[in-house]
Each structure stands twice: as structure tokens, then as C-alpha cells.
Amino acid sequence: MQMNFRIALAVSLIVGSVAFAQTPRRAVPVVQETLAAQIMLDRVGFSPGEIDGRSGRNVQEAVAAFQRAHALEASGRLDPMTWRRLSERAGNHPPLVSYEITDADVAGPFTPDIPADLMEQSKLPALSYRQPLEALAEKFHASPQLLQQLNAGAAFGRGERVMVPNVAAVDPLAPAPGSRPVGKLVVSKATSSLTIQDNQGQVLFHAPVTSGSEHDPLPVGMWKVTGVQQMPEFHYNPALFWDANPSHSKARIAPGPNNPVGVVWIDISKEHYGIHGTPEPSRIGHVQSHGCVRLTNWDAQRVAMWARPGTTVIFE
């Protein structure tokens, strides 16, 4: 069955490249199985986090979550049955597509130099993307390094065609009118993941998270969503950070995707805690946080589409 998937993948790439044959296009790169799996998992709502073509814990947890949701053995391995079910759910789409970089993609404004120090960040008028490549990478849920690997020699300028992961431009996972109501958001310390579940416990969405640390453990318990804020400011209070510089004081940090809480803040009834994005998508699921639940910006936006005031949030 895995060999059948490889054949189908090759065919889909040929079909995709033929569709672009009338105008010059960048050659379709060879797609490895891990990269194809990451893209398909993202499309069906079992996010591997940042798409980078590399296997690891985030991919394994996403595969295991998909398997559990589809009555398969939750091994975390891409066995033949999982490949078949995943490819069926993801649809007959090539894993990579050609994309023409638009005026909006390169218009900015950008913030090329962002210091690590939060007090220095507070002096900036915005924490925008550093450059078009970073903005494009987030748009297609990928690492900048992956886009560079897929497009050797690309300048990522206006009008240039590049190969990108085929993630949905309009998110098919957004809740439609009359869709199943969300029962709860569940954050698991054991799997470093967040799942959105309906009232019957069926998983509607899965994503890797960074949550808590030895100094700021995840506050296990049941909470409620109290509000959702897009493009939030970050109000830095060094008293809440065990490792803060003693010379720091309270400060306001301007909004933007490179703001410490990213592009969205989902407030919960636990004081000083929330679910939010991040300026460092590559670190999600791999490092500890200062207590809050962090996702990639695109996954945080997906969660925000489901979260409503009063939605149950369980930390376990």
C-alpha cells in the first residue's frame, strides 16, 4: 500500500506540473514521504506544526492522533493503512503547488531587526515579519529553510513563481454555520498537544503546543474561554517571569506576528494564562514556555475560529 501511495504521489506531481506548462514554472522538486505526510496531515486538521520535511515528535503525535480519530492502531507510524486513510481524507491534491508572489506578499511593512530583549522590543512601533520569506513561510505553514530548499536560487520577489506546500488557502476546517458545536479544548502535557473536540469527544482538530515548564507548570484543571483578541499587544510584566532581568520594568510591546504572543490571544479564566501564537514556530513542541499554551500562528488562528466565550478548556 505504501508503494501505491508513492505511485499516486508521482502521478499527482506530474498532473500538477502539466497544469502549469503554459508559462515558465520552477521545476517540481522530489517530495519525500515525510514532507508529503506533513502536508496531508495539515490539510486534514492534524497539524504537525511547522512543515519542514523532517520527522520528529510533532509528526509522530499528529499521526497517532489521526490514527485514534480513525479507529486505527495509534502507533504514530505511517503504516500502509494509515497512508491510505490519510490520502483519502486529504483528497487528490499534489503536495506542492506553484505560487506567484504578489505585491501584497512583499509590500510589508517589515521589521528586519528584532532584538531578543523584551525591553528593547518595546521600543519598536511594530513586530512585523522580518522579510517576505518569513511571511511566505507562515502563509504556507512551512519553515523558511524548506522554501529555500524547494526553490534553490529564488529571490522571493514580486512576480516570482515558487513551489510551496499545498495547504488550503481558505481553511476548510473553519466552523460552518450549523456545524458540530465545540465541546472542549484539551491541552495535554503528556503529548504536548491541543485538541478541539465535539460534544461526543470526536477530535475536530489537533496541533502541537508548548505548555508550561518546571518553573511554570501547566495549571491542570478546567477553565473557560473568556475572549479572543486578534493582533494583541503584549503587556510585559517581569514579575511574572522567573528568569526576567532584574533591571526590567513593565512595558507594552506592539502587535505583530513577531510579538511574544504572535497574532492571536485566546484568554481563559485562569489569571495570567492564555492560548496564543508565537514568533518562533520551529520551537513549538520542542521547548518549554512561561506557563501559557503556545502554538504556531496559523494553528492559533485555527483554534481561534472555534473558541467562543464560555468554551470549556481542560489542561491535563
Beta bridge partners of 315: 187, 221
- pLDDT for residue 308 is more than 70: yes
| pLDDT (0 to 100) of residue 262 | 97
Residues 187-209 pLDDT 10s: 999 999 999 999 899 999 999 99
| pLDDT (0 to 100) of residue 17 | 37
| pLDDT (0 to 100) of residue 214 | 62
Assign residue 213 the CATH number of its domain: 2.40.440.10
Last residue of a domain, one of 71, 96, 121: 96
| pLDDT (0 to 100) of residue 207 | 97
Q: Using CA atoms, how far apart are residues 297 and 135, in angstroms rounded to an integer? A: 11
Identify whether residues 136 and 111 lie together within a single domain: yes
| pLDDT (0 to 100) of residue 12 | 42
Identify whether residues 202 and 155 lie together within a single domain: no
User: Residue 105 — pLDDT band, cuts 50, 70, 90?
Assistant: very high
User: Residue 292 — pLDDT band, cuts 50, 70, 90?
Assistant: confident
| pLDDT (0 to 100) of residue 15 | 35
Q: Grid coordinates standing for 271?
A: 489569571
| pLDDT (0 to 100) of residue 238 | 76
The whole-model pTM stands at: 0.87
Last residue of a domain, one of 70, 96, 122: 96
Identify whether residues 269 and 158 lie together within a single domain: no
Q: CA end-to-end span of the chain, whole Å?
A: 37
- Least confident segment among 19-23, 34-38, 181-185, 270-274: 19-23
| pLDDT (0 to 100) of residue 219 | 87
Identify whether residues 79 and 108 lie together within a single domain: no
Identify whether residues 214 and 293 lie together within a single domain: yes
Identify whether residues 83 and 11 lie together within a single domain: yes
Identify whether residues 310 and 190 lie together within a single domain: yes
What is the residue whose three cell numbers read 476546517? 173
Per-chain mean pLDDT for the chain: 86
Q: Of 70-84, 174-188, 227-241, give the range with the top mean pLDDT.
A: 70-84
| pLDDT (0 to 100) of residue 28 | 65
Identify whether residues 74 and 108 lie together within a single domain: no
What is the residue-wise DSSP string for 154-205? ----TT-EEEEE---SS-TTSPPTTPPPEEEEEEETTTTEEEEEETT--EEE
* Residue 176 domain flag: no
* Residue 152 domain flag: yes
Number of domains in the chain: 3
Portion of the chain with pLDDT greater than 70, in percent: 83
Last residue of a domain, one of 96, 122, 154: 96
- pLDDT for residue 13 is more than 50: no
